[in-house]
Amino acid sequence: MWYWAFKYVLLGPLLHALGRPKVEGLENIPVDGPAILASNHQAVLDSFYLPLVVTRRITFLAKSEYFTGKGAKGRFQRWFFSSVGQVPIDRTGASAAQDALDAGLRVLRNGKLLGIYPEGTRSPDDRLYKGKTGMARLALESGVPVIPVAMIGTAKMNPIGSKLPRPTKVGVKIGKPLDFSRYEGMAGNRFVERAVTDEVMYELMKLGGQQYVDVYAASMKKATEESGDAVGSDGGAARIPDSRAG
């Protein structure tokens, strides 16, 4: 109930006024059944604007810290992120990759839409970075289509380090579903999973017009931090890492 209340009453009207979102390709979202929505990741607000324009409910995987806070703030965060359809994922420990994959498979096997950011974290500089192969493992194990989604303008509205959104035109481009049934039974093959991932990233590059960088965004952030240029955190999106946890 709260998901729809936030979408249509509590947050949706404000987000519409701030971003005036323009959506293309909405017809590519199936009216029912499971699918993976694979999106580029420019800002925290990606997880708000994509559900805003898609009629069906979308479930995202979120870092578990949002569900374990203490005090009034912790209780509010736990209630809010549960209400808007996010599933907690522990990103620490040796089993983090498998736990994330298992959680994603549960969502898909329940016939729902699963939102994933293949880059694993927000882009530090508005470019598109190399995708993690966990998304491919989910697609191959579940047999569901992958629908590429390009978020445009959210980085300007909600740049890293900003506390309040800035009114900016937001665009959402939804590509045609990608069918990977030709790789049936090949989940776990790292070459196949890399091929699937790269195909999705190529479609995202075409949709959004971003410059592609063949390194992981997290590696770029780490290198930037070590050089003394601070960058922001990933904003709460749970990482779907390489399926071999490497």
Number of C-beta neighbours around residue 231 at 10 A: 17
DSSP state of 27: G
In this predicted structure, what is the pLDDT of residue 66? 66
Mean pLDDT, consecutive 10-residue stretches, the chain (246 aa), reads 82 93 97 97 92 93 72 78 73 70 92 94 93 94 97 92 88 98 94 97 97 92 70 50 52
Position 94 scores a pLDDT of 56
Reference 131, options 120, 115, 141, 144; nearest CA is 120
Of all residues in the chain, the percent with pLDDT exceeding 90 is 60
Domain locations in the chain as residue ranges: 20-226
Give pLDDT, residue 70: 80
Check residue 197 and give its pLDDT: 97
Q: What is the pLDDT of residue 246?
A: 36
Which one-letter amino acid corresponds to residue 105?
Answer: L
Contact (Cβ atoms closer than 8 angstroms) between residue 179 and residue 142 = no
The rounded distance, in Å, linking the Cα atoms of 42 and 128 is: 9
pLDDT at 244: 52
Task: Evaluate whether 123 touches 154 at the Cβ level (below 8 Å).
Answer: no
pLDDT at 23: 97
Strands 146-152 and 171-174: antiparallel
Give pLDDT, residue 211: 96
Residue 225's pLDDT is what? 75
183: how many CB neighbours lie within 10 A of its CB? 17
Tokens of 69: 């806070």
User: Residue type at 35?
Assistant: A
Q: What pLDDT, on the 0 to 100 scale, is given for residue 245? A: 41
Q: Which fold has domain 20-226?
A: Glycerol-3-phosphate (1)-acyltransferase (3.40.1130)
pLDDT of residue 232: 44
Any alpha helices (H) in the chain, and if so which ranges?
2-5, 12-19, 46-53, 71-83, 96-109, 134-142, 154-157, 190-208, 217-226
pTM: 0.86
